[in-house]
Chain A
Amino acid sequence: MDRINKYFFLLFVILHLNCVEEISVDNQFQSEINVEDILVVEATITNEFTQQKILLTRASSFVNDSTIVYERNASVSVVDDIGNLFSFENTIDGQYDSSEAFAAEIGRSYKLLIATDKGEEYESKFEASAGESTIDNLYAERVTTDTQIDGIAIFVDSSNPSGDVNYYRYSYEETYKIIAPNWTSSEFEILQEYELIRDENTGELLEIIYPDVKLVPRMQEEQICYNSIKSNNIILSDGSLLNESRIDKNQVRFINRNNPILSHRYSILVKQFLQSQDAANFYNTLADFSQSENLFSQIQPGLIEGNIKSTASTQKIVLGYFEVASVTQKRLFFDYVDFFPNEPLPPYFNDLNCPSFFSPRLFNSSLSPRDGGYDSYNCGVQTELVDHLKAEAVEFYLVNTDPPDYCEGPYLVTQRACGDCTVLGSNVKPEFWIE
C-alpha cells in the first residue's frame, strides 16, 4: 500500500508557494539515544547453498557518518528448529561468514543469535522461508514518466508457485559497457622532465633540460571497459491484494535516456527475494521513512521494530531484520540501438566534453618564466604537457598537424576518461558478459 501514501505534492507545491530546501544537519540534536549504541543487523539467509553472510555495523552520528563503524569480534550463530547450529566467523570488517556452506531449507525455521564482545546479547524470532518464487520475465521498455522523462524502465514479472505469499524484494547489479570515444592505440611516455642543471658551487645555470614525450603503443586494454554497480535502494512489490501469487510489471530500475550507462550495451542481474509479511513490513517502513516526500502529512517516523531483540533487561536498541528468504535471479542484456535507433548517444560520463581537444605546450617558453625568463609570445603560463600527464589528466589524441601556434604544443590531447576507459571501469570483461 505504499502507493497510497504517496498522494502528496499538490497545488501549492505546484504554485511554488511552498518551499522544500535542503538543510545541513549537524550535531545540534542532542538526543537521549546514543546513536553509536545502535546495533545494525543485516542478515538474510537464502536457499542458495553457499557461505551465508551477515553484516553487523553500528549506526553513526551525522558528524561521523562518512565512516562506517563495523561491529567486530562478535559471536554470531544461526540455529534451526531441530537444534542444528551454524556458526559464523568474522571475516572482514563487520562481515560474518558461515563456517560451512548451507542453504535455508523450506519448512525449517531459523533463529539468529548474536553476542557482541561488549557482552550485549541479541536474538531474533524464529523465521522460515515463505517458499520459492520465480522471475517469470525480466524486460526493458522505453517509457516516458509522469514528469515527462524519456528513458528505459526495467520490469520484472514475479510469481510464487509454491504458495500464496506474494511479497517480493529486489536488488540488482547492473553492468554496462564503456567505450572511450577518443581512444587511440598510442599513448605518451615521458622521456624527460624539465630540469635545470647548475654548478654545485657557484649555482650558475649550466644547462636547461627541456621536457619531452614520445608516443608508444598502449600497454593494456583501455578502449572497452565494463563497470558494475549494485542497487542502493529498497525495491519492493506487494502483491498481497492480488488474487494470484504473481505480480506483473514491477519496475525495479528506471534509467534516464541521458544516462551514459545506456550508451552501448547494458546488463542487469535482478535478484528476487520472496519475503514474509513481517519482513515486507519492515522493509516497507524503512523505505517509507527514507522517502517521505509528503508535504502536508508526514508519516510518523520512529524506531523500526524488527524481529531481533536485546535479551538483556536493559534494552539496547537494535535495528535490522533476520530474514530467511528464497532468492532467484535473472539477467537481461540490451543495446542502446535496440531502443534508440538512429538517436544520438547520451552525453559522456561526468558531463565530459570529449569532442573538445586542446594542445598543451611541451614547455612554456625558451626561458621559462620560472627562471625569470621572458614570455616573448605572450602565451602566459600554462600547465605543460608533462605535468598534465603526471596528473593523469590527459590522453594522446592526435598529432597537431597544422604548424603549431606559438602558444600550442605538438599534440592534441583529450581528457583522460575520454581516451582511457579504465578510469570509469574495469578492462576485464565479466565472465557472464555476452555480446
Chain B
Amino acid sequence: MKKASILITVLLAFQWVGAQIDSIQATQNDANSLIAVLQKLEATSGYQFFYDENWLQNVPAKANISNLEVTEALNELLKDSSLNYYVLNDEKRVILIQNGIIYDALPKGFFGQSDSTQNTRSTVYQEQVADPVFYDSKGQKGKKKYPVVRVGKTDKNKQKSAYILQGRAINTRTKEVIPDLAIRVAGSNRLVVTDENGNFSIELPSGYNRIKASAMGIANTERELLIYSDATYDFEFEESLEQLEEVVVAADAVRNVKETTTGTEKIDLEESKNIPLVLGERDLLQVAKALPGISSAGEGASGLNVRGGKTDQNLVLLDDAVIYNPTHFFGLFQALNPFTTKGVEIYKGTLPVEHGGRLSSLFDIRSKDGNVEKISGEGSIGPVTGNLALEFPIKKDTSSLMIGGRGAYANYILKSLDDPALNNSSASFYDGIIKYNHKINEKNELRATAYYSKDAFSITSDSLYQYSNRLASLRWDKRISDKASSALVLQNSDYRFGIDFENLSNASFDLNYGISETGLRYKLKTTSNEKHTYEYGASAKLYNVNPGSIEPLGTQSAVIPKFIQKERAIEAALFIGDRFTVSDKFSIEGGLRYNFFAALGPKIERTYEPDFPLNDATVQSTTDFGSGDIIKTYGGLEGRFSARYLLNENSSLKASLNNAYQFIHTLSNNTTVSPIDTWKLSDFNIKPQNGYQASLGIYNNFNDNMYEFSIESYYKLLYNVTDFKTGADLLLNDNVETEIIQGEGKAYGIEMLLKKNRGDLNGWLAYTYSRSFYKFDSAFSEERINNGEYFPSNFDKPHDVSLIANYKLTKRFSFSGNFVYQTGRPVTFPVGTFRFNNADFVAFSNRNEFRIPDFFRLDLGLNIEGNHKKNKLAHSFFTISVYNVLGRNNPYSVFFVTEDGEVKALQSSIFAIPIPSITYNFKF
C-alpha cells in the first residue's frame, strides 16, 4: 500500500500541474466495469485514454463521478487501484500507467543539486499531504512521501555492484544540517550516522534502494533512490511533529547499537531541561552524573570521576578549546549557559583519535549554531542566576551571531540576611559566550567562539578568592571533494585563580596562579572506497604555566614578591584512524596516535640522588636550562581499537582496547576538587601518567528503538597517577616534586543502562557496579600510603543507581523525577585520640578505610508550559522543582576538630533539607 500511496501522491502533483484542463462533464456512472466508465468518459470529455485493458480487468467502478471534472473523476475512479494517470493537455490525451509514473521533468537531484532548491512540485505535495483521502492511516501517520530520486550517471567503464552515496542531511525548515541522523538501507543492516556537520557517506547496491532515516526531532522518513554511480546528494528532512511537544529524553535511535566505539554517551541540553536539579539550574554535568560510569566524590563536589579515573583525567572541551574548570561555585553549578549549549558527547572509553592527552574521558561540549534566519532568544530567571541567549542572523541563511550571558545574584541574598557572619561574605559568578558561524559556501564553514567565566567569593572581610576561565576557538570545516573533508582548529584557553588577602598586619598579599594553552589541530577525513574512512592529522599545543606567585598588597605589607618558576611545554601528536567496514555486520575502528611532550626552559631543575626519597637533603645537582632548551621529553604511542559486530538490526556486540598518555596533573591535597588546585606539567622529576582500558559491551534496542538497553564492562590500569605526602604544601612550593608521589591505579566495573526514548513516560535507569583502587608504594615510608597496599579511591562507590523519569500529563504539564542511590564514599576516619601540646588530637585510620553512610536523594520537578497560542510574542514555561524531597541528610563528610583541647566529631551535609525553587523560562 505504501507504494500505491506514493504513486497517488505523485499523481496528484502532476494533476495539479495540469489543472487548467477544461471542465468536462462525466455523465455516466451506471456501467459496471471501469473500462466501460472510461470509455464513456472518453466520449464525453473529448480526451483520449491510453491503457492496457488487462490492467482494468478486475477493477470495479463504484465511484459516482457525476458532475466531476475529468481529473476529479479519474481520482475517484482510480483511488483504490494501482493505476496512475498522466494528462497531456495539448494533445487532449490521458495516459494510464500501472505502478510506474511518468516524469515530465528530470528529478531535481539528477544533477546533484540539493533539495533545498526544490520547485513548486514538492511544495505542492506537501500541501496535499494534509488531505487525508490520500493517506492510508495505518502506519502512515507523520510520514511523507517523496519522489524517487535518481542519482549518478551510468558510466559504462565504471560499472560496479555498489556505489558510494555522499551528501548532507538538511532540515527543510531551518536549513541547518542534521547531525547524528541514522540512515539505514532497508532490508540490510547497513547503517550510517551523519557527523556533526550532517555529512554522511554510505555504500549502496547499484540501482533501486530504499533508505530509512531517523533522528530525534526529525520525522522518520523513507526515501527511494536509484543510484547509477558514486554520487553526491543532499537530502532534506522534515522536522517531526514531536518536536513541538516536549522531547524530553531522546537519543539517536540506533546510534548506540551502530557505533563502533564503546563507552560513549550523549546528552542534549534540550532533552535534559526537565530534570530537576538544585535551585532549578539546568546542568549538563549533573545530568552526566546520572549516566553510568560518571560520578563525583559527592554532592557539591566539583570534578567528575569517569570509570574510576581521577578528576584531572578528563578532557573537557567547549567548541574545541579546553575548559579547565567548567563549574561555578565549588561545582554546584555548571559554568555553561544552558541556552547557548547544544549538548555534550562523552567518551568514557576510546577517545576519537584526534583528541588525547587525558586518560579517562573526553567531554566534547558544543555550543549551538546561531539562527541564520531570524532573531531569536531564550532566557530564564531562577532563584540564583539569570540566563539570556540571543541569536542574530548577520546575513540571512549564511551567518549568525550568538551571544549568551549569565550571572548569579547570590550577593543580594547574602546582604539581605540579618546575620553579621554573612554580611562579610560574598559570592558571585558570571559567564558569557559569543559565537559566530558563517557558511561561506557549500564547501566551507567557519565557526568562532569566545568564552569567559568568573567566580569571586570571600568568606572573611580580609580575603577574596577568584578564578576564571577564558577560551577562544576558531574552526574551519572544508569539504575538499566528495570523498574528503578537513577541519582546522585554532584554540586558546586560560585558567587562573587568585587570592587577595588584606588585613592590618604586614602580611597582606596577592597570590596568583595561571595556566594557558594555545593549540592548532588539522584533521583530514577521506573515504577511500566503500570500506574505509580514514581520519588523520596532527595537533600541537604550547603550555604556559605560572605555578604560583605572591606579591605584597598595600604599602604596609612586608611580603616579599615570590614567583615560582614558570613552566613551558609543547605537546604534539600525529594521528591516524581508520573506520573499516569489514562487512554489513562487522566494523572496526583502529587508531594510532603518537604523542610527544617536551618541557622547555628557562628553568632551573633539581636532580635528586637516585634511590633516595626526593627532598632537600637528596639534591644531587641543579641544572640551569636556558630559554627554549629542552628539559625533558616524553613520548608514547597510543593505540585505540574498537570493533562492533551487529547481531541483528537492533543489537550489537562491541569491544575496545586502548592506551593513553597524560602529561598534565592536578595538584590537590584535598579529598575533592577545590578551586585552588593547580595544574602541573610533567617535568624532569614528574613523569607523565599513562593508562590502559579494555571494555566489552552488548547493546540492544527494542520496540522500534523506543527502548535502548546496554551492558558495558571495563577494566582499567593507570600508572604514575599523582598523590601527595600527607599534609603536603603544594601552593607556592619551589620544589613541589618533593611533595608528590606517583603510583598506580586499577578500576573495573559493569554499567547497565535502560532508556525509554519516547512516549509520555520516558527516561532512563542506570546501574553501575564499579570499583577503583590506588596504590602508592615506595622504599621510603613518607612516599607510601597505607603501607604500599591498594586502597579504595575517594570516589570508589561500588553501587550507583540513577533513575531519571519524565511523565507528560498533558501538553502543558509534565512531571519529572530524579532518584540517586550510591554507596557511601570512602573516608579516612580518626580511630583514636592522642595528647600533644596540651591538647587532644586525632589519630587517623589508614587512607579511606571507612565509608560514610550510603547516599540517596529524590528530586521532583513540574514543568508548566505557557499557552500554545500561535502568535504570542514569546513562548514561556515555568519549572518548579524540589531538590532532595525526602530531606535526607546525606553526609558529605565527617571531620574532627580540636576545640579547647577536646576532640569533636562533626558531620556535614550540603543540602540537608528539601530545597524548592521556581524558574521562569522564555523563548522568542
Partner of A246 from B413, B558, B781 at Cβ < 8 Å: B558
On whether the beta carbons of B787 and A315 are closer than 8 Å, the reply is: yes
Task: Kindly provide the distance from the CB of B614 to the nearest chain A CB, expressed in whole angstroms.
Answer: 14
* B41 shortest CB reach to chain A, Å: 81
Contacts of B550 in A (CB 8 A): 241
> Given the known A-B contacts A18-B911, A33-B831, A42-B836, are A1 and B896 also in contact in the complex, defined by CB atoms under 8 Å?
no
Give CA–CA (A32, B789) in the complex, Å: 13
* Cβ of B864 under 8 Å from chain A: no
The answer to whether the Cβ of A313 comes within 8 Å of any Cβ in the partner chain is no
Residues of B331-364 at the interface with A, using a CB-CB cut-off of 8 Å, are 331-332
Query: What residue in chain A is nearest B912 (Cβ atoms)?
Result: A19
B617 to chain A: closest residue by CB: A125
User: Which of B188-196, B312-320, B454-462 lies at the binding interface?
Assistant: B454-462
B866 at the interface (CB under 8 A from A): no
Docked Cα-Cα span, A241 to B553, in Å, equals 13
| Nearest chain A residue, comparing its CB with the CB of B673 | A297
B834 touches A59 (CB 8 A): yes
Q: A38 near B: Cβ within 8 Å?
A: yes
Q: State whether the Cβ of B13 lies closer than 8 Å to any Cβ in chain A.
A: no
Shortest Cβ gap from A391 to chain B (Å):
28
Within 8 A of B (CB), among A20-46: 20-25, 29, 31-33, 35-36, 38, 40, 42
Inter-chain contacts of A300 with B (CB < 8 A): 669-671, 724, 726, 794, 828, 847
A244 to B506, CA, bound (A): 11
Judging by beta carbons under 8 Å apart, are B849 and A32 in contact? yes
Contact mask for chain B residues 892-903; partner A; CB cutoff 8 A; 1 contact, 0 none: 111111101101
Q: How far is the CA of A258 from the CA of B599 in the complex (A)?
A: 59
Question: Are B897 and A29 interface neighbours, CB within 8 A?
Answer: no
Complex Cα gap A281–B897 (Å): 18
Contact with B along A279-313 (1 / 0, CB 8 A): 00111111011111111111111111100010000
User: Is there an interface contact between A291 and B898, defined as CB atoms closer than 8 Å?
Assistant: yes
B844 interface contact, C-beta 8 A? yes
Q: Of the listed stretches A75-83, A226-234, A340-348, A370-378, name the one at the interface; the rest are far from the partner chain.
A: A226-234
Does B501 have its Cβ within 8 Å of any Cβ on chain A? yes
B846 touches A (CB below 8 Å): yes
| B732 sits at the interface (CB 8 A) | yes
Within 8 A of A (CB), among B768-790: 781-782, 785, 787
Point out the residue from B462, B725, B832 that lies within 8 Å of A61, measured CB to CB: B832
Q: Once the chains are docked, how many angstroms separate the CA of A29 from the CA of B905? A: 13
Q: Please, which residues of chain A bring their CB within 8 A of the CB of B840?
A: 65
Considering the complex, which residues of chain A in the window 247-283 have a beta carbon less than 8 Å from any beta carbon of chain B? 247-250, 281-283
Q: In the complex the two chains form, is B465's CB within 8 Å of A7's CB?
A: yes
Of the stretches A9-17, A204-212, A353-361, the one at the interface is A9-17
Given that A17-B915, A32-B845 are contacting pairs, would A38 and B832 also be in contact in the complex, using a CB cutoff of 8 Å? yes
Closest-by-CB residue of A relative to B561 is A243
Q: Are A65 and B837 in contact (CB under 8 A)?
A: no
Quick one: given A29-B829, A33-B845, are A9 and B459 in contact (CB under 8 Å)? yes
Cβ–Cβ < 8 Å partners of B301 in chain A: 296-297
| B95 part of interface (Cβ distance < 8 Å) | no
* B132 lies within 8 A of chain A by Cβ: no
Q: Which of B418-426, B622-630, B636-644 contacts A (4 or more CB under 8 A)?
A: B418-426
**Is B102 in the interface zone, CB < 8 Å from A?**
no
User: In this assembly, does B300 line the interface, its C-beta being within 8 Å of a C-beta of chain A?
Assistant: yes
A3 at the interface (CB under 8 A from B): yes
**Residue from the list B424, B669, B732 in contact with A299, Cβ < 8 A:** B669
User: Which of A14, A20, A57, A242 is B506 in contact with, Cβ under 8 Å?
Assistant: A242
Chain A residues with CB under 8 A of B63: none
Contact at A3–B727, with CB atoms within 8 Å?
A: no
Beyond A40-B835, A242-B560, A291-B897, is A18–B912 a contact (Cβ under 8 Å)?
A: yes
Let me know if B671 and A12 touch, CB within 8 A. Answer: no
* Inter-chain contact B900/A232, CB cutoff 8 Å: yes
Q: Judging by beta carbons under 8 Å apart, are A293 and B897 in contact?
A: yes
Task: Report yes or no: A4 in contact with B676, Cβ–Cβ below 8 A.
Answer: yes
Q: Which residues 195-217 of A sit at the B interface, judged by CB distance below 8 A?
A: none
Q: Which B residue's beta carbon lies closest to that of A244?
A: B558
Q: Give bound CA distance, A25 to B558, whole Å.
A: 44
How many angstroms between the C-alpha atoms of A94 and B725 in the bound complex?
30
CA of A400 to CA of B674 in the docked complex: distance in angstroms? 67
* Nearest residue, chain A, Cβ from B424: A146
State whether the Cβ of B329 lies closer than 8 Å to any Cβ in chain A.
Answer: yes
Interface contact A17-B787, CB-CB below 8 Å: no
Within the complex, the shortest CB–CB distance from B538 to chain A, in Å, comes to 38
Chain A residue with Cβ nearest B414:
A14
Given the known interface contacts A17-B911, A17-B913, A290-B842, the answer about A4 and B731 at a Cβ–Cβ threshold of 8 Å is yes
- Note all chain B residues with C-beta closer than 8 A to A247: 505-507, 558
> Whose C-beta in chain A lies nearest to the C-beta of B898?
A290
Chain B count of residues within 8 A CB distance of the other chain: 102
Residue B486 at the chain A interface, CB threshold 8 Å: no
Q: Is B47 an interface residue (CB 8 A)?
A: no
| Residues of chain A lying within 8 A (CB to CB) of residue B829 | 29, 31
A301 proximity list for chain B (CB < 8 A)? 726, 828, 830, 844
Q: Mark B535-563 against chain A: 1 for CB-CB distance below 8 A, else 0.
A: 00000000000000010000000111010
Q: A151 at interface (Cβ–Cβ under 8 A)?
A: no
Q: How far is the CB of A163 from chain B (nearest CB, A)?
A: 15
| Contact B725–A305 (Cβ < 8 Å) | yes
What chain A residues lie within 8 Å of B901 (beta carbons)? 232-233
Cβ of B850 to closest chain A Cβ, rounded Å: 6
Return the chain A residue nearest B794 by Cβ: A300
- B509, A241: Cβ atoms closer than 8 Å: yes
- Chain B residues, CB < 8 A from A299: 669-671, 727
CA distance A33 to B785 in the complex (A): 13
Min Cβ gap B425→A in Å is 6
Contact check, B836 vs A319: say whether CB atoms are below 8 A apart. yes
Q: How far is the CA of A291 from the CA of B899 in the complex (A)?
A: 8
CA distance A315 to B786 in the complex (A): 12
A295–B907 Cα distance when bound, in Å, is 10
From B465, B726, B894, contact of A285 by CB (8 A):
B726
Return chain A residues, CB-CB under 8 Å to B911. Answer: 12, 17-18
Chain B residues near A419 (CB, 8 Å)?
none
Give the residue of A1, A14, A319 whose beta carbon is less than 8 angstroms from that of B732: A1
Residue A62 CB within 8 A of the other chain: yes
Whether A319 lies near B843 (C-beta < 8 A) is yes
Contact indicator B781/A33 (Cβ below 8 Å):
no
B897 close to A290 (CB less than 8 A): yes
Chain A residues in 8 Å Cβ range of B427: 10-11
Q: Which A residues are in CB contact (< 8 Å) with B421?
A: 14, 146-148
CB distance from B895 to the nearest CB of A (A): 5
B463 and A7 contacting across the interface, CB-CB below 8 Å: yes
For window 150-174 of B, CB contacts with A under 8 Å fall at: none
Q: Is B529 an interface residue (CB 8 A)?
A: no
- List CB contacts (< 8 Å) of B839-883 with chain A: 839-847, 849-850
Which of chain B's residues has its CB closest to A147's CB? B421
Question: Does A8 belong to the interface (CB within 8 Å)?
Answer: yes
Highest count of chain A CB atoms <10 Å: which of B300, B724, B726, B785: B726
Cβ–Cβ contact B910 & A9, under 8 A: no
From known contacts A12-B911, A33-B846, A292-B897, infer whether A319 and B834 are also in contact, taking CB-CB under 8 Å.
Answer: yes
Cross-chain contact A35 with B832 (CB below 8 angstroms): yes
Asked if B604 is at the interface (CB within 8 A of a chain A CB), the reply is no
Q: What are the interface flags for A112-150 relative to B under an 8 Å C-beta threshold, 1 for contact and 0 otherwise? A: 000000000000000000000000000000000011100
Do the beta carbons of A320 and B836 come within 8 Å of each other?
A: yes
A171 contacts chain B at the CB level, 8 A cutoff: yes
9 residue pairs A–B, Cβ–Cβ below 8 Å: A1-B732, A22-B906, A59-B832, A148-B420, A233-B898, A296-B672, A297-B670, A297-B671, A303-B844
The residues of A with any CB-CB pair to B shorter than 8 Å are 1, 3-4, 6-12, 14-15, 17-25, 29, 31-33, 35-36, 38, 40, 42, 57-62, 65, 68, 146-148, 171, 230-234, 239, 241-244, 246-250, 281-286, 288-305, 309, 315, 319-320
For the complex with contacts A19-B912, A32-B845, 5 further pairs of A-B residues with Cβ separation under 8 Å are: A10-B330, A10-B425, A22-B904, A292-B896, A295-B910
Cβ-closest 3 pairs across A and B: A285-B727, A243-B560, A35-B832
